[in-house]
Amino acid sequence: MALRIYDQYDLKNGIAATVIMALATYAANGAANTEHACGILDHAHAQAALYGLSWAAIVQECKEGLDAGARGLLDDALKSGALEVSK
């Protein structure tokens, strides 16, 4: 069953909001473990793939919603090579 456009929008926002909350909380507590951040992103990436959502759009939304510290954690996790953002 194909998702309706508004379902895709809600799912994308929900996945991004979960990543933003998880990384922001993690960074606010002083943590900087890239492997943990990769786990958060792996989970979100799997959800995006399950629903056929653009991973690049979700990553961009996350970058826009994070403060500098949490954004750095996101960037470090993405640079680790665990995830491909071009799709």
Mean pLDDT of 65-78: 90
Question: For residue 63, is it within any domain?
Answer: yes
Rg (CA), the chain: 13
Q: What is the pLDDT of residue 80?
A: 84
68: pLDDT strictly greater than 60: yes
Residue 85 lies in a domain: no
**Of 9-13, 21-25, 31-35, 58-62, minimum mean pLDDT range:** 31-35
In a domain, 86, yes or no: no
Count of domains for the chain? 1
User: Within 10 A of 49 (CB to CB), how many other CB atoms are there?
Assistant: 11
| pTM for this prediction | 0.82
Answer yes or no: is pLDDT of 6 > 70.
no
Q: Is residue 72 part of a domain?
A: yes
62: containing domain: 5-79
pLDDT in tens, 39-49: 999 999 999 99
